[in-house]
Structures are given as structure tokens and as C-alpha cells.
Amino acid sequence: MSDIEDIIRRNRHNVARFLDATHSGELDVIDELVDAGIVTHGFPCGSSPASREEYKAFFADLGEQWADMEFELHALVADAHHVAARFTVTGTHDAELMGVPATGRRVAFDGMALYRMKDGLIAETWLQPDNLAILDQIGGLAAAA
């Protein structure tokens, strides 16, 4: 096996572990798998976690917004420097989100994330959840009309 194949395997493994743990409330994994100088893009409501602690707060808030959250990873694609993930999140809308008070509605939405890796750690994240689908399902689009 080549060094590049080992790096790709490690990066895929670390991102899969990060996604599984953070979406089940195991936020200490962020200290292990996220670079201290994390840079983020595309996070909902203008949030851009810029540290491990802020990244933990983002996932803690996510757990509050989506009670009984289920995370399904559909695909991971990687090269030596990046890992891309496609996923679905399902949960009950239990806290204010994007200005919409909790509705108690069951919601499912898709998303994608691209992670730039540095020495096996997540150094930069581009997040693209389907915010339009989320707003539609929680009644945020009707309220804006």
C-alpha cells in the first residue's frame, strides 16, 4: 500500500468517526479529530465555528434543535487532502431554528460537507444542508410569505 492510500484511508476513517460521534452527542471527539485552527463555511444562521469549543457548541445546539436526531451517511469520497460526505438528518424540531419556534414536526433533510484535512485532522469545513427543505418542513417558508 502506498503512503497516499494510507493517508486517504486515515482521512476517510477520521471523518466517518467524527460524523458518527458528533451526531450522537459524543462531542469530545472534536478535541481529537478537529484542528485547533478550524475554519468553517456555510453553517446555518450565519454561525461559523472558529474553534473546537465553538464547534462543540454548534453540535450541542444541533442536538437540542433536533430531538431524537438520526444521522445517515450515504457516501464518503476522499483524496489525500479532502473528504466529501453526503448525508441525511432526521429528527423532531424541538427548539428555535432559523427564527422559527419549535414545531414538534418530524423533519428529514439532506446535506453535503467537504472537509479539508491536515495531518489527519479536520482543518476546514464547508457545510451545505438543504436549508430550503428544512424551512419548508418547519413552516418557515409559509411564515415568510
Contacts of residue 82, defined as CB under 8 A and 6 or more positions apart, other chains included, come to 11, 114, 115, 116, 117
Contact predicate 52/34, CB 8 Å: yes
Nearest partner of 125 among 3, 8, 18, 6, judged by Cα: 18
CA pair distance 1, 12, nearest whole angstrom: 16
Beta strands across the sheet bearing 121-129: 34-41, 121-129, 106-118, 82-93, 66-78
pLDDT given at position 4: 94
Nearest 5°: the CA angle 22, 70, 59 is 30
Mean pLDDT of 83-88: 98
**Confidence tier at 103 by pLDDT (50, 70, 90):** very high
pLDDT given at position 64: 86
User: In the chain, where are the structural domains located?
Assistant: 3-144
Sign of the torsion angle spanned by Cα atoms 57, 127, 73, 64: positive
- Domain 3-144 maps to which CATH number in 3.10.450.50, 3.40.50.9100, 3.30.1330.60, 3.30.160.270? 3.10.450.50
Q: What pTM did the predictor assign?
A: 0.92
